[in-house]
């Protein structure tokens, strides 16, 4: 029997996040791919195979929420866990209202990320 590891795509313009998160996600049993921008993710063949998206809120070009709207427009329903360095208290409720599974503030714990991903992947 083939063991499948849920595909998680990480979209963040911060290189340190793109370097550290895949190792952590692999340890958790996920298959991780990284993208430096929303545009790069949209142009990839990963859109159709991604089971969960770890998405930075603020990026140059298309922002995380703009990518979320674009995916919805295309009929792609990928659960999204937003991550942000912006500790604005109004941002999380707004993102959750728009359908995000979770919004984590950097720096977040490994446990918080794992819980958010588990939640995203168990959502109907």
Classify residue 61 as left (phi > 0), alpha (psi -120 to 50) or beta.
left
35-56 pLDDT, tens digit each: 999 999 999 999 999 999 999 9
53-83 pLDDT, tens digit each: 999 999 999 999 999 999 999 999 999 999 9
- Average pLDDT of the chain to the nearest whole number: 93
Taking Cα atoms as reference points, which of 91, 73, 82 lies closest to residue 113?
A: 82
Domain 7-122 falls in which CATH fold?
Answer: Rossmann fold (3.40.50)
Give residue 47's pLDDT: 97
Give residue 123's pLDDT: 63
Q: 31 and 10 in contact (C-beta within 8 Å)?
A: no
The total of other beta-carbon atoms located within 10 Å of residue 86's CB is 10
Please compute the mean of the pLDDT values over residues 14-33 and round it to a whole number.
95
Taking Cα atoms as reference points, which of 101, 1, 88, 109 lies closest to residue 51?
A: 101
Domain coordinates of the chain in residue numbers? 7-122
Q: Chain centroid to CA 29: how far?
A: 16
Partners of 102 in the β-ladder: 81
Residue 2 predicted with pLDDT over 60? no
Q: How far apart are CA 24 and CA 27, in angstroms?
A: 5
Query: Is the link from the previous residue into 107 a cis peptide, with omega within 30 of 0?
Result: yes
């Amino acid at each position: 029997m083939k063991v499948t590891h849920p595909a998680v795509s990480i979209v963040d313009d911060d290189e340190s996040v793109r370097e550290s998160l895949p190792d952590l996600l692999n340890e958790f049993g996920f298959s991780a791919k990284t993208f430096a921008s929303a545009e790069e993710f949209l142009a990839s063949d990963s859109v159709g195979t991604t089971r969960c998206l770890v998405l930075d809120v603020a990026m140059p070009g298309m922002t995380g929420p703009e990518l979320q709207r674009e995916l919805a427009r295309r009929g792609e329903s990928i659960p999204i866990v937003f991550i942000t360095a912006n500790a604005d208290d109004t941002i999380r409720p707004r993102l959750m209202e728009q359908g995000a599974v979770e919004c984590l503030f950097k720096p977040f714990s490994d446990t918080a990320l794992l819980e958010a991903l588990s939640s995203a992947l168990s959502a109907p």
